Every structure is written in C-alpha cells, then in structure tokens.
Amino acid sequence: MFRTSLFASATLALVGLASPAQAGVIINYASGFGGACGSGLTCVGDTVVVGNALRLTPAVDGQAGAGYSTTPVALGSGATFSTSFQFQLTQPGGIDPADGITFVLAQGTSGLGGAGGGMGYQGVGNSVAIEFDTYWNGFDPNSNHVGVDTNGSLSSLLTASPYGQTVCDLSNYATDGCMSNGKVWSAFINYDGSTQKLNVSVQQQGLALVQMITDYSIDIASYLGSNNAYVGFTAATGAGHENHDILGWQLANDTSIGTDGSNNVPEPAGLALLAIAGLAALGARRSGPHTTATR
C-alpha cells in the first residue's frame, strides 16, 4: 500500500541526490509538490497533492485530473523547452492498469480534458502533449507506449514502447519495462525550436536510459500559436485504474535539460526508497487481449 510518510522521506532523498538546476530552469519542483496546488499550479478535477507527490488521479475508476502552471510560462525562441520529471504508477486494478499520464503544453486554460482513454487531455486545443499510455484503446498501438499528441487528440503522431515491452496488463504489469510496474520512472523531453526537433527518453529505476523519440520534426509553436504556454500534466482512469503520481519536475526555456540522462537523474539509492510503496502486493491476475498496430 502507498505510504505517504515513506514517500515524503524518500522524496527528500531524491532531492538531495539530484543535480543542481540548470540556468534556464523556470519551473522547479525537484523537491516535490507540497503546497503547489493553488500556489504556482492550478489543480483541477481529481488532482491533489499527497505527501510531496502530485497525484493526478487516485487508483479509482472514472477519475480525471490535471495540474498545470497557474500563469503561462515564456518558452524559448520557437517554443524551445526542455523538461525532466519522475513518475510512479501504483495500485493498478479494474479491468487493467489505466490509463496513463500526459505532459502537456497548451495555449489556453481549458484545464481538463476527457476521462478514461482521453487521459485528461482529449479536447484540449492549441496544445502538444507527450503521452505515457498504459492502456490499449482501439486507437492505440498497444498497452504500453510513449506518444506525441496534438490539439487534444489521442491518435498519436508516432509511438514507441519502453524497452520493447508492448503488452502490460493485470497479469504482467510488474514486469520490467511496463510503466505501471510501481517503480520510479524518469522522463526527459527536449525540444529545439530552431531545428524543430523533438527528443524524448525514459529510464526505469534499475535499467538503462532508452531513447523513445529521436529528432522528430514538429513545429510546436504553430500548434500553440505562441511562445507562451500553460504547462503541466494530465491523467485519467476509466474501467481500469492506478495512482498517477508525479514525484518531481523541472522545466527550462532552453535545451539545457538533455535526454541523455546527464542532468537531473536521481541516484539509484533515492529511487529505491521511492519505489518501495509501489512494489507491494504484486500478484498474478487476468490478462486481456492485446494487439500491436502501427500508425
């Protein structure tokens, strides 16, 4: 079971081991999200702070939530930005682990999109999101992938599966490479507005960092319509659920936070402490049908 006191102390361990903030960092929740809702972040729907974690949704069916900057932030030229954050998905249940999180940049303040497969992002216009999707809907290639979404659509422009793991359900969600396995994951997103190239990598606790998206051409500024954006996270559950927790987050208006793991990656000792709660009560459960598709 998720223990708030353990999580809070573990987060402090993470903060003490993280690298110093880069010069371009304009949002810094490396020490956690205590007091962030209503002060720096607008939290809507079912999103609350639990301990020092930003819990986008609890492990309950039919939830949707978002936490995003209360005021728009000024991105670099051509919407240049880079970001790193740590997330942990725990206590999966219902029909399967569901549904995952998005990191989103949006021009407006619609705040909260569709539940279930909408991942709290569906319908958010003038936006770009990177999804970390843990459930196989009909428009998805599989039940464990990272993708690029635009203008509130969950039909991703491209997708890739961490560590090649494409099937993650209640029978095997504890497997390495499944984002719902309860371990701490680090994500790194880097976009250079001058070259219009997007890069995304992830790292599961205990495994090597892997590149998910490499030099993908996309004009983010054209989707946003501005170099200013509200930035943050969304998540949702449907007939399946899990806790969607963001543990720490930094965002820069330059490319100083790279995707090679050289900046702001917690040391394994800190990660081990953070993961203890998410690894409890793992057992074999039912498997649903899954297929792999291409876009």
Sequence ranges of the domains in the chain: 4-260+269-279
Give residue 113's pLDDT: 84
Query: Using the 8-state DSSP alphabet, how is residue 263 labeled?
Result: S
Asked if residue 162 has pLDDT above 80, the reply is yes
Average pLDDT over residues 13-23: 41
Beta bridge partners of 82: 190, 252
Integer CA distances (angstroms), 139 to 2, 21, 197, in order: 32, 38, 25
Q: What is the mean pLDDT of residues 15-43?
A: 79
pLDDT at 19: 42
Distance CA 203, CA 59 (A): 23
Percent of the chain at pLDDT above 70?
80
Q: Give the pLDDT of residue 22.
A: 58
pLDDT at 35: 94
Confirm if 43 and 215 have CB atoms less than 8 A apart.
Answer: no
**Residue 66 DSSP SS3:** strand
Predicted confidence at residue 259, as pLDDT, reads 87
Per-residue pLDDT band for 74 (boundaries 50, 70, 90) equals very high
pLDDT, averaged across the chain? 85
Give residue 261's pLDDT.
64
| Residue 148: predicted pLDDT | 98
What would the pLDDT profile of 208-218 be if each residue is shown by its tens digit? 999 999 999 99
pLDDT at residue 129, as a whole number: 98
Helix (H, G, I), strand (E, B) or coil at 5: helix
Mean pLDDT to the nearest integer, 86-97: 98
The per-residue pLDDT for range 234-277, each reduced to its tens digit, is 999 999 999 999 999 999 999 999 988 655 544 333 333 343 33
Q: Binning pLDDT at 50, 70 and 90, where does residue 108 land? A: confident
- Answer with the residue of higher pLDDT: 13 or 149: 149
pLDDT digits over 169-179, tens only? 999 999 999 99
- The residue ranking higher by pLDDT, 262 or 25, is 25
Res 279 pLDDT > 90: no
pLDDT of residue 142: 98
User: Hey, which CATH number is domain 4-260+269-279, 2.60.120.200, 3.40.50.10490, 3.40.50.800, 1.20.1250.20?
Assistant: 2.60.120.200
User: Would you say residue 198 has pLDDT above 60?
Assistant: yes
Q: How confident is the model at residue 114 (pLDDT cuts 50, 70, 90)?
A: confident
pLDDT for res 105: 97
